[in-house]
Amino acid sequence: MVRRRFPYQFKLIEHFQSVQPSHWKKMIQVDGKSRKLYFYHHRVRDGLIYREEHVGRKTFEYYKGREDKLIYRSVTFDGEREKDPQALVLNKELHTGKDVTILKMTQKFELDPLLPAESQIKKTEFNLDKKKVFVFYHYVDGKITATDSAFNRDDLIGQAKISDMNDKEQEDSQTA
């Protein structure tokens, strides 16, 4: 491992060998602001190759070679927002030591050439600030438009209630 410090920039850069248990290739950290992690591609089978954290604001990850075709995932936070009883709150978010409200979560998927493009999800966005869920599909060759859908978050929550799921689990355990 090689560690370099830049005290006037509050920056730390670490390089790791591929045989170390962390599986990190490189880490760049600016105290209290950001952290970038580069991973070896042959590490654990989750396909994570890059992660970047902007403390208290956003975290995003890039993936490669996953079976589910996931290539990107992000979460956007807001630590200054007043607590809404329906808001999704992450308690004591890492590094900031305070609760943060989750505003948006996004996932992006690559196209599988073996399946029809119009049936494959390209991007899902869970916008908790707008209380909407957006689903975007891949483009079909030769078309300039693609299908997309928008759902109201409250309508989706009403369809699957947690108490109903718990009742089903109890019924399953009694029949087994």
Contact present, 105 and 75 (Cβ < 8 Å): yes
Tens of pLDDT, residues 142-165: 888 888 899 897 777 655 544 444
SS3 call for 47: coil
Tens of pLDDT, residues 119-131: 999 999 999 888 8
Q: According to the model, what pLDDT value does residue 176 have?
A: 46
Nearest to 6 by CA among 31, 33, 36: 31
Q: Which residue has the higher pLDDT, 169 or 68?
A: 68
Q: Any idea where the domains of the chain sit in the sequence?
A: 45-175
CA distance 125 to 147: 14
Burial 67-76 (b: 16+ CB within 10 A, else e): eebbbebbbb
